[in-house]
Structure 1
Amino acid sequence: MKHRLAFLVAAAALAAGATAAHAQQVIKLTAVAGHPPAFLWVKLLDEFYIPEVDKRLAAAGNKHKIEWTKAWGGTLVKLGGESKGIADGVGDLGFVSTVFEAPKFPLQNVSYFTPFGTDDLGLVTRTVADMQKNIPAMADAWTKNGLVYLGGAALDTYHLWTKFPVTKYEDLQGKKISAPGPAANWIRNTGAVAVAGNLNSYYEDLKSGVSDGVIVFTTGAWGAKLHEVAPHITKVNFGAMFAGGIAMNKSRFDRLPPEVQQVLREVGDAYSAEFAKAQSAAAGTLMQNMAGAGAKVADLSEAERKRWADALPHVAKTWADDVTAKGLPGQQVLEAYMGGLTKAGVKLPRDWSR
């Protein structure tokens, strides 16, 4: 009798274990990024987003478990090709840099054509997120490319690193300024000459005289050690810029259980907030570090900031007209972005929607 009882107890335990194992669904996902984890947006994807998703799934009853494969630094998907790589299923989820994929995400780059905005990274990210919910064409950019948007990130505000002091935009007259992509618009009508470049070339360009200054964000400037060759830092506050976000293969996402989808979205929102907080803190600390290393840091006055903004051609209208010609709501996006900033209390030196 005792043996029979022991057998039944053991059988029941095995059955319970088998049922529990059967009840837990294991989901295999590959996370990718073109940048390495040295960049905060990838670091937080690795060290915050993924662990937080795992934590919340476990807390929800452990019915679903994700087995992650991580492929950072372009090992599976190269920089600028993330959206295609994820849509094609090379990776399931990853960081898509919309700033490097402007043809696919033209409306998401509105901040780059509305300089002198806000240094509030979180506000820029939330404003773009709200626009993506309320303006179908913005949401469609992700859907048309086979993606689901989960959470975003904005780069800290851009300033000016130069070999000479700057107190007004006229000080740029005749100077060569590295101003990549849309940032070249930010020095039009100042008398400066825009020079193409990137974070990998800025240091040598400044050192060799190819350029006399550069427009860049603080965290990037510190990593490239630009204060060593351009020791005059003018805090112009061209604005924080929406740079991209975490996205997932749409067909893969649609096949997931609703509760897993919800966790991925909720943690995406948390990632956006965490990134804004961490990036802002890093920018402040690194600016202090550069000052401590001998850089001369000065704020451009609000009056001069407005003069500079007013001196520029209507770069936003040119951009809006261009995307409108392609069948997209350029003016609506401009008005929504400017409206989002002003509603939050930002005092804009120039309203680009007018």
Structure 2
Amino acid sequence: MTLTIRRLLAGTALATGLSAGLALPAMADETIDITIVNGHPPIFLWVKHLTESFIPAVDAALEGSGYAINWTEAYGGTLAGVGGELEAIENGLAEIGSVPTVFMPNQLPLQNVTYNTPFGPSSAQMVMSAMEVLYDTIPAMGESWHTYDTEYLGGGFALDNYILMTNFPVTSIDDLAGHRIAAPGPAVNWLEGTGAVGVAGNLTTYYNDLQTGVFDGVIVFATAAAPARLQEVAPYVTVTDFGAQSAGGIVANQTWLADQPEVVQNALRAGAAAYQAGYLEEQSARVTAAMAAIAPDADHLHTLAPEERARWAAALPDVAGTWAAATDAAGLPATEVLNAYVATLQAAGADLGRDWSMR
């Protein structure tokens, strides 16, 4: 719901209350202006639930506190493009945002541990639970945001099981030779050793680039592929089970946040928790329908056999080890994060195509 609509509804409620002679609730003593940003449009769940889960939960937590929020929602490139959210928050253009860390492998490498351990669990809930363990036990996870004057509030979101969509049929990695395949950020590494040519891309351009032949396929996830109608330009779906991936979270400008009353800070963190819960619940409900939309018949759907999935995972270079060594050298505890992440998944009984740990 846009700010204008909310104001109109609020005005209507005020008029109705006065005409009925009803007592109105006390007005907040202080209203705080907050701009919230994400570069993707609201058709995607991680943006949709800013409006549907995060904002209502924050407002509810502040009821009776004497504080209220005047929200400005800036999505779909209106304030920052995809990958530009962190800079917008750091520079004070927005106070809060849902930041897609997948597009920031250099700025926030620790947050990209899942993208450097492909063929992990398909459960987004399992991935997010493991990531929360990392945030709870490894201080550098939260501290790494501080480099950009930002503070992690919670609300981590994971993208559902990544798959392959192409304009040609794929039943094994041998079919990929010579084809240009787009993938987000560090997921390009998942194509090394397969014969495919990896190209960096994102959801905002996938459809047009597939349509115009810039590339022949994309690594994507079902709940985004369906609303983006990617099946129209990449009708062949291969369930590779690359795994669900931690892709971002809700952060605030750190300097701004420190100036806010404790009750407001607590409300924002409560909102982030509600955002994650709402997001995961709807995501789970949408996966089956999304898969039916993008792969409506057996001619357009192929699931890799377990041995072929293991073959693909084994064909990759040591993606995790290379990432960990480079990130360790930059002064961040990537090896600790990597080992803790894999150990947490193994303890939870995750199906891993390859053990990427360095223990």
TM-score, reference length from structure 1: 0.86
Q: Paired residue for 1:50?
A: 55
Q: Paired residue for 2:9?
A: none
The answer as to 2:330 corresponding to 1:329 is no
Distance 1:271 1:180 in 2: 23
Letter in 2 for 1:36: P
The answer as to 2:44 corresponding to 1:39 is yes
Please show how residues 137-156 of structure 1 align to structure 2 within 5 Å.
Answer: 137-150=140-153, 151-156=155-160
Shift of residue 294, structure 1, vs aligned partner: 7.8
Contact 2:116 2:320 in 1 (8 A): yes
CA 1:335–1:91 in structure 2 vs 1: closer, same or farther (change >3 Å)? same
Q: What secondary structure is seen at the aligned counterpart in 1 of 2:32?
A: strand
Q: Paired residue for 1:71?
A: 74
Letter in 2 for 1:230: A
Q: What secondary structure is seen at the aligned counterpart in 2 of 1:115?
A: coil
Please show how residues 129-140 of structure 1 align to structure 2 within 5 Å.
Answer: 129-140=132-143
- Give the fraction of aligned pairs with identical amino acids, expressed as a percent: 49
Deviations 1:80-128 (A, max 9, x none): 2222222222211111121222322111011111100112112222322
Contact 1:125 1:272 in 2 (8 A): no
Shift of residue 196, structure 1, vs aligned partner: 4.2
Contact 2:40 2:204 in 1 (8 A): no
Deviations 1:269-308 (A, max 9, x none): 1211221221232232111122337862122122221121
> More displaced, 292-301 or 108-117?
292-301
For the pair shown, the structure with the greater C-alpha radius of gyration is 1
Distance 2:32 2:60 in 1: 15
Distance 1:194 1:33 in 2: 26
Q: Paired residue for 2:31?
A: 26
Q: What secondary structure is seen at the aligned counterpart in 1 of 2:193?
A: coil
CA 1:54–1:173 in structure 2 vs 1: closer, same or farther (change >3 Å)? same
Calculate the aligned-residue CA RMSD, in Å. 2.3
Distance 2:188 2:82 in 1: 22
Contact 1:112 1:182 in 2 (8 A): yes
Deviations 1:219-274 (A, max 9, x none): 33223333223322111110111111111112222222222222211221121122
Q: Paired residue for 1:119?
A: 122
TM-score, reference length from structure 2: 0.85
Shift of residue 159, structure 1, vs aligned partner: 0.6
CA 1:194–1:28 in structure 2 vs 1: closer, same or farther (change >3 Å)? closer
* 5+ long unaligned stretches in structure 2: 1-22
Shift of residue 62, structure 1, vs aligned partner: 4.1
Number of residues paired by the alignment? 333
Deviations 1:163-221 (A, max 9, x none): 33333222323333333432222122222232444434434544455433322111332
Q: Paired residue for 1:234?
A: 238
CA 1:66–1:225 in structure 2 vs 1: closer, same or farther (change >3 Å)? closer
> More displaced, 79-88 or 175-184?
175-184
Distance 1:178 1:84 in 2: 25
* 4+ aligned runs moved over 4 Å, structure 1: 207-210
Please show how residues 213-252 of structure 1 align to structure 2 within 5 Å.
Answer: 213-252=217-256
Shift of residue 339, structure 1, vs aligned partner: 1.5
Q: What secondary structure is seen at the aligned counterpart in 2 of 1:154?
A: strand
Distance 1:169 1:199 in 2: 23
Contact 1:232 1:296 in 2 (8 A): yes
* 5+ long unaligned stretches in structure 1: 1-16
Letter in 2 for 1:328: L
Q: What secondary structure is seen at the aligned counterpart in 1 of 2:158?
A: strand
Contact 1:122 1:277 in 2 (8 A): no
